Amino acid sequence: MTHTDNTGAFGFMRWGARKNAVRAGIGAVYPRLWRFCVSLAGDRAAGEDLAQATVLRALEQAAKFQPGTHLDRWLFVMARRLWLNELRHRAVRKGTGLRPVEELDLPDPAPGIETHIFASEVFDVVTALPEAQRVTALLVLVEGYSYAEAAEALDIPVGTVMSRIAAARRSVAARVGDAQEAGRKVR
């Protein structure tokens, strides 16, 4: 029996074909993976390292990828697990490791100074959120994941995603409201 497709005798995709599928899909997903990793790490350099480590791990573990599933979710779960392992390794407590936005080398959006200032202020407010809220907000509000998809990526119940989003919204609204009442910028 000759097979011209990428499946074996029992219909399972061969390892080489899975690795090629993962390799082919990473390019399209990488910008989102990078944003997720930078948000998770709270630091551009650490986020870049995490994104690269995730890609390497994905290529090593390509045989475990299930074709027909979402590569981005698989990579996000992998990135989160790698980050948790790194935190355990460093014995870093929750909330540490963040640097002020002024120290980050962020690209200039260039549409206008007002947009840049507003984006910087929003970034400050979001990075001030606790890690769990920050990462959940990134997936749902920036990446457009449904609550169920974010729950799957973070390996938490949907109710936890809902409560984290609600808490993040309350926190951001409170900070923005406090700043507006005081007549100052949001920081």
Instruction: Show pLDDT as tens, one digit a residue, over the chain (187 residues).
Output: 344 444 444 344 565 666 777 888 888 999 999 998 988 888 889 999 999 999 999 988 888 887 778 888 899 989 988 988 887 766 544 444 544 545 555 555 455 555 555 556 766 777 788 988 988 988 888 788 899 989 988 889 999 999 999 999 898 888 876 655 555 554 4
Residue 88 sits at the vertex; the CA angle it makes with 85 and 93, to the nearest 5 degrees, is 130
| Gap between the Cα atoms of 117 and 80, Å rounded | 30
Where among 99, 126, 144 does a domain terminate?
99
183 dihedral zone (left: phi>0; alpha: psi -120 to 50; beta): left
170 and 109 part of one domain: yes
95 and 175 part of one domain: no
| Gap between the Cα atoms of 131 and 118, Å rounded | 22
Q: In which domain, by residue range, is 83 found?
A: 1-99
Query: Count of alpha carbons within 13 Å of 162, Cβ hemisphere only?
Result: 4
1 and 84 part of one domain: yes
